[in-house]
Amino acid sequence: MSTAREQPIFSTRAHVFQIDPATKRNWIPAGKHALTVSYFYDATRNVYRIISIGGAKAIINSTVTPNMTFTKTSQKFGQWADSRANTVYGLGFASEQHLTQFAEKFQEVKEAARLAREKSQDGGELTSPALGLASHQVPPSPLVSANGPGEEKLFRSQSADAPGPTERERLKKMLSEGSVGEVQWEAEFFALQDSNNKLAGALREANAAAAQWRQQLEAQRAEAERLRQRVAELEAQAASEVTPASEKEGPGQGQSLEQLEALVQTKDQEIQTLKSQTGGPREALEAAEREETQQKVQDLETRNAELEHQLRATERSLEEARAERERARAEVGRAAQLLDVRLFELSELREGLARLAEAAP
């Protein structure tokens, strides 16, 4: 193919697809990357063509005729039928703006081709293209395949090259719209399933964290109880040591009250002397130990209160996650029901189309 006598009037970047000739439903990609798609004008023959080169061969070589129609099937995907090449071309653009520019240029070129055909039939001589636009190049941009081959959208060509009966065209349109709706519902269903899986993972993580916090709380409670028992033992031991030794050594039955009082005073003095000699350092040590133990108990009680607060917060989060999961399940159920209804309607439309095709002469 030579384009020496042709000049590009518009260029853009898009993923190129062709309809599967066997099924007329699935798209076959022309390559893994976006290609340059250009409008060319042949001044000698007054012909407009859409050309896209992939490697060493022409992926698209479509002459624009007045009967062609470019159809937007989504925000970033469009298609047109070429009866001469007996195929349907599809283009996936990077943005809706690129698709709109290509569609507007297609309409302009189609109008120019119509005027050229009318003038050639009238015997007039054309000296300039019908398009009064300067050639420009749309800068390439990174693309993500729009309406790619993974989506089994029905072929919805509005080409007027081979018009059929009105009723058959209406049924074809209804069937195509039903298939598009089915794909959309399937996408929403899979999105809800993904959301449900994420919520289930978050719920499992929350359950594991709550179990770990419960174990830590039980351990802290056991440690606090042990420290309380230790404090009680130390207090009882201190109280028993303060008890006068005179209570263990009862006076004789014949002693008088004065003798008993003198004996008690003597014993008290001895106790005070012994305390001053030997009991001081020990009591100070025990008092320090009691204070340290009490401080530990207070710290543990504070920690227990914090853990209980965290546990309550985790339980609330767990309940919220469970409620969200139930809502997601309800949404999935509703989406599944709507999908069943759409599939049933699609089945009825297909049966109606089959009966119409059988009844057609």
Considering only residues 282 and 79, tell me which one the structure prediction assigns the higher pLDDT.
79
Average pLDDT in the chain: 77
pLDDT at 246 over 80: no
pLDDT at 285: 72
The amino acid sitting at 85 is A
Structure tokens at 299: 């710290």
Confidence of residue 241 (pLDDT cuts 50, 70, 90): low
147 Rama class: left (phi>0) / alpha (psi -120 to 50) / beta: left
Considering only residues 162 and 340, tell me which one the structure prediction assigns the higher pLDDT.
340
pLDDT at 2 over 80: no
Mean pLDDT value across residues 309-329: 90
pLDDT at 97 over 60: yes
Going by their DSSP bridges, the two strands 71-72 and 57-63 should be labelled as: unpaired
Beta carbons of 11 and 141 less than 8 angstroms apart? no
pLDDT at 297 over 70: yes
Confidence of residue 144 (pLDDT cuts 50, 70, 90): very low
Confidence of residue 145 (pLDDT cuts 50, 70, 90): very low
141-150, 209-218, 345-354: least confidently modelled range: 141-150
Mean pLDDT value across residues 178-187: 53
99-113, 213-227, 240-254: least confidently modelled range: 240-254
147-151, 230-234, 343-347: least confidently modelled range: 147-151
**How far apart, in whole angstroms, are the C-alpha atoms of residue 166 and residue 355?**
16
**How far apart, in whole angstroms, are the C-alpha atoms of residue 357 and residue 125?**
46
pLDDT digits (tens, 9 = 90+) for 12-43: 999 999 999 888 888 999 888 899 999 999 88
pLDDT at 6: 79
pLDDT at 344 over 70: yes
Considering only residues 279 and 333, tell me which one the structure prediction assigns the higher pLDDT.
333
**How far apart, in whole angstroms, are the C-alpha atoms of residue 325 and residue 330?**
9
**Cβ neighbour number for residue 324 with a 10 Å cutoff:** 15
Q: Which fold has domain 8-120?
A: PH-domain like (2.30.29)
Q: How large is the C-alpha radius of gyration of the chain?
A: 46
pLDDT at 187 over 80: no
pLDDT at 234: 85
Residues 6+ apart with CB under 8 A from 271: 244, 245
Alpha helices in the chain (DSSP H): 96-122, 166-242, 257-274, 280-359
Beta carbons of 129 and 46 less than 8 angstroms apart? yes
The amino acid sitting at 273 is T
Beta carbons of 43 and 79 less than 8 angstroms apart? no
164-178, 200-214, 309-323: least confidently modelled range: 164-178
Q: How many CA atoms lie within 13 A of 104 on its CB side?
A: 10
Beta carbons of 341 and 349 less than 8 angstroms apart? no
Confidence of residue 173 (pLDDT cuts 50, 70, 90): low
pLDDT at 169: 66
pLDDT at 320 over 80: yes
31-35, 72-76, 154-158, 219-223: least confidently modelled range: 154-158
pLDDT at 147 over 90: no
H-helix or E-strand containing 60?
strand 57-63
To the nearest whole percent, how much of the chain has pLDDT over 90?
23
pLDDT at 18: 93
Q: Crossing angle, helix 280-359 and helix 166-242, to 10 degrees?
A: 170
Confidence of residue 337 (pLDDT cuts 50, 70, 90): confident
18-27, 61-70, 209-218, 269-278: least confidently modelled range: 269-278
188-192, 201-205, 224-228, 356-360: least confidently modelled range: 188-192
Confidence of residue 156 (pLDDT cuts 50, 70, 90): very low
